[in-house]
Amino acid sequence: MTGTAPKSPDLLRSLPGHRVELGDEGPLALDCGETLEQFAIAYQTYGELNADKSNAILVCHALTGDQFASETHPLTGKPGWWEVMIGPGRPLDTERYFVICSNVLGGCLGSTGPKEVNPATGKAWGLDFPFITISDMVHAQKRLMDHLGIDRLFAVVGGSMGGMQVLEWASKFPERIGAAVPIATAPYHSAQNIAFHEVGRQAIMADPDWDEGRYQDSGKIPRRGLAVARMTAHVTYLSEQALHRKFGRRLQNRGELSYGLEADFQVESYLRYQGASFVERFDANSYLYITRAMDYFDLGADFSGVLANAFRGSPVRFCVISFTSDWLFPTPEARKIVHALNAATADVSFVEIESDKGHDAFLLNEPEFHETLNGFLNGFAEQLGLPTADLKPLPSEDGTSDAGRIS
Amino acid sequence: MKPVKRPKKDPANLTMSAQHPEAQHSRTIRPDLQLIADMIDDGSRVLDIGCGDGLLLSYLVEEKGVIGRGMELSQEGVNASVTQGLSVVQGDADSDLNTYPEGGFDYVVLSKTLQATRDPRAVLRQLVRIGSYAVVSFPNFGYWRIRLSLMFNGRMPDTPLLPEPWYETPNIHLCTIRDFVELCMACGVVIEEAYTVGAALRPRPIRSLHTANLCGQDGVFLLRKA
């Protein structure tokens, strides 16, 4: 800690888990050309690090996820976003692996981001915070691994934006990781996905309470804009089948149409709830910054447009996973990664999981997905002389039936 | 990548090993797969196309220490393979082989899959492009039982190797051993070794094309680019 370190709001001070100040070993040079002298990363761990530090798995979270992957969330009181995946007898078995999940750089739950105090002004960074990229997030995570003394991660695993971080790790620091599991992700953010993000950002920026990004100074929150951004995004995380099964055209608490603009349909009511609850746990400026980081992601562009060059000679074992009904990161996007890995004759497995739950399938109880991931990690663990284990069945109701909590 | 140096094996020994796999290896697999495994050098890089549930691939990895990769069309097959720790991708031989670099593997195996591809000729060319050697096996449509079945019953064959009725078989480009040899010649593909596997699943080196075409249930070929 130094005197110039950003101060955290009281809420963040009271968050459980770890928070480490980094930057003493040198400033973090960002892709945008600016540098962060000091920055903080908040992280959570599950399980025990073994004696030779060979059993660590880094879990990378998605756009609005956070470090609380497998425990009751301190703000929402809901289960962690990957509780189905992390724990004893689960694919990321905490009896065998040491699981680390950090809040990304630019996030709003303890890691340095636009919500934090800018040491130069004593006020919240807001839009003065430098724009960050997926690569910057990964470089910050690497600093965290250095801090933890972990030279080589057993695996890096993540879905959606987390999958982008996994690809970035494999490409930039192949010697620091054993296996890479990019799930429901793409080698670059598509025009359609940038378009959806832009709708969300415009909704936030059109909210008068956004106040050109300075809303924290005046104690306001652009609730309406952020809620609309979340509602739009949320639709893209589901599938037509999932929406139909969950809601159909059923009406909400009424027998007939109102012939007005109230939430007549259950799906409307659901989206309004999703938007409203999101505002309570996420920062609008962080949303702008992190969506931008995803938009900028194009791994092949860093390698003269040849994605295979990102993986040339890679010693990393890859397992690429996609879901049939994911229209945000559809299987053809995953295949682009696989084809590039083939071209580099990398060690790659690729599985497309049959699911009608859309993009959010990676967060849910999909037994085939869990079996595949467990089998892949077991195969690698065996190779390294680490213990292996079969999955234990999940309890029938694991609090995961609510499709699409955090994507 | 230069072709791996491959000492010529004595067909007699190879056949013996195929008949008595337990004599050399702790695990046993089907004799036709054993024949393929015996063609492959220990520790080489192998791509198994249409690897099913990974039976041959896991044998090669565990018993012969190969660096093994697989490709399989069916999700069940891929999932079964990956779940047991094999490196297998879901993919289609007709469309995805062009993603692999030239000479990327020492051996490319195509076991009983050629007849299910849309364009066997293009697939054959890809095999010898990607691998220094290609091992191809397929059911021989010139086999005498199939000939008799067609002659006397007037119906498409219904054998253990070709069990599905004609309207739902995945095998859309069936051929005979003679057809295959002619295709190799037309494509400039060199046949290094050739075997048939008969009804007793005993591999025999092909000496007479006529006899092999009539008596072989399967053809198994080791190929390379000219």
Quote the distance between the C-alpha of residue A140 and its chain's center: 15
CB atoms within 10 A of CB A211: 14
B101 touches chain A (CB under 8 A): yes
Per DSSP, what are the bridge partners of residue B111?
B137
Q: Cβ contacts (< 8 Å) between B104 and chain A: which residues?
A: 345
d(CA A247, CA A233): 18
Q: Is A5's pLDDT higher than 50? A: no
Q: What is the pLDDT of residue B159?
A: 77
A351–B82 CB contact, under 8 Å: yes
Query: Which residue's structure tokens are 């067609």?
Result: B150
B69 touches chain A (CB under 8 A): yes
- Which among A345, A351, A379 is the nearest to B90, CB-wise? A351
Chain B window 37-66: which residues touch A at a Cβ cutoff of 8 Å? Answer: 45
Per DSSP, what are the bridge partners of residue A321?
A183, A351
Residues 6+ apart with CB under 8 A from B7: none
A379–B101 CB contact, under 8 Å: no
d(CA A313, CA A302): 16
Tens digit of each residue's pLDDT (9 = 90 or more) over A305-333: 999 999 999 999 999 999 999 999 999 99
B75–A352 CB contact, under 8 Å: yes
B91–A350 CB contact, under 8 Å: yes
Return the closest-CA partner of residue B72 out of B91, B96, B59: B91
Q: What is the pLDDT of residue A15?
A: 85
d(CA B76, CA B54): 11
Tens digit of each residue's pLDDT (9 = 90 or more) over A227-266: 999 999 999 999 999 999 999 999 998 899 999 998 999 9
A343–B99 CB contact, under 8 Å: yes
Query: Which residue's structure tokens are 């393929």?
Result: B36
Q: How far is CA A101 from CA A59, A151, A321, in A?
A: 5, 16, 20
The nearest alpha carbon in chain B to A391 belongs to B83
pLDDT band for position A267 (50/70/90)? very high
Residues 6+ apart with CB under 8 A from A255: none
Tens digit of each residue's pLDDT (9 = 90 or more) over A79-88: 999 999 999 9
- Which among A344, A351, A380 is the nearest to B79, CB-wise? A351
Judge contact between B41 and B65, C-beta under 8 A.
Answer: no
CB atoms within 10 A of CB A29: 12
Percent of chain A topping pLDDT 90: 90
Q: What is the pLDDT of residue B158?
A: 78
Task: State the Cα angle at A94 between A91 and A98, rounded to 5°.
Answer: 105
B82–A376 CB contact, under 8 Å: yes
Q: What is the pLDDT of residue B30?
A: 83
Residues 6+ apart with CB under 8 A from B165: B156, B158
Q: What is the pLDDT of residue B8?
A: 52
The nearest alpha carbon in chain A to B58 belongs to A379
d(CA B69, CA A345): 9
Q: How far is CA A359 from CA A68, A187, A240, A242, A284, in A?
A: 20, 16, 11, 11, 23
Q: Is A154's pLDDT higher than 80? A: yes
Plot region of B134 (φ>0 → left; ψ -120 to 50 → alpha; else → beta): beta
Q: What residues of A are labeled active site?
A: 160, 326, 359
pTM over 0.80: yes
Q: What is the pLDDT of residue B23?
A: 43
Query: What is the pLDDT averaged over residues A377-386?
Result: 94
d(CA B37, CA B141): 24
d(CA A231, CA A275): 5
A265 touches chain B (CB under 8 A): no
Residue A96 tokens read as 């065998």
A372 touches chain B (CB under 8 A): yes
Predicted-complex ipTM score: 0.86
d(CA B15, CA A267): 67
A·B CB contacts under 8 A = 72
Q: What is the mean pLDDT of chain A?
A: 93
A352 touches chain B (CB under 8 A): yes
A351–B75 CB contact, under 8 Å: yes
Strands A153-159 and A317-323: unpaired
Judge contact between A199 and A176, C-beta under 8 A.
Answer: no
Q: Cβ contacts (< 8 Å) between A352 and chain B: which residues?
A: 75, 78, 90
DSSP SS3 for A127:
helix
Q: Is A11's pLDDT higher than 50? A: yes
Chain A window 302-321: which residues touch B at a Cβ cutoff of 8 Å? Answer: 317, 319-320
A389 touches chain B (CB under 8 A): no
d(CA B71, CA B62): 18
Sequence-ordered alpha helix ranges (H) in A17-148: 134-148
Q: Cβ contacts (< 8 Å) between A322 and chain B: which residues?
A: none
Q: Which stretch of DSSP H or E encloses residue B205? A: strand B203-205
Task: State the Cα angle at A49 between A47 and A53, rounded to 5°.
Answer: 150
Determine whether B156 is exposed, middle or buried from the number of CB atoms within 10 Å of its CB (0-12, 13-18, 19+): middle
The answer to which of A2-16, A38-52, A293-307, B138-152 has the lowest mean pLDDT is: A2-16
The nearest alpha carbon in chain A to B69 belongs to A347
Q: What is the pLDDT of residue A386?
A: 96
B90 touches chain A (CB under 8 A): yes
A343–B100 CB contact, under 8 Å: yes
Task: State the Cα angle at A70 between A61 and A133, rounded to 5°.
Answer: 10
Q: Is A7's pLDDT higher than 60? A: no
Q: What is the end-to-end Cα distance of chain B in Å, rounded?
A: 15
Percent of chain A topping pLDDT 70: 94
Judge contact between A323 and A359, C-beta under 8 A.
Answer: yes
Mutation choice for A interface testing from B90, B96, B106, B107 by most A CBs within 10 A:
B90
Q: What is the pLDDT of residue A396?
A: 66
A349–B104 CB contact, under 8 Å: no
Task: State the Cα angle at A380 between A300 and B22, rounded to 5°.
Answer: 125
A403 touches chain B (CB under 8 A): no
Q: Which residues of chain B have pLDDT under 50?
A: 1-3, 10-23
d(CA A221, CA B104): 56
Task: State the Cα angle at A252 between A250 and A254, rounded to 5°.
Answer: 100
Q: What is the pLDDT of residue A12?
A: 60
Amino acid letter at A181? Answer: V
d(CA A30, CA A36): 7
B82–A319 CB contact, under 8 Å: yes
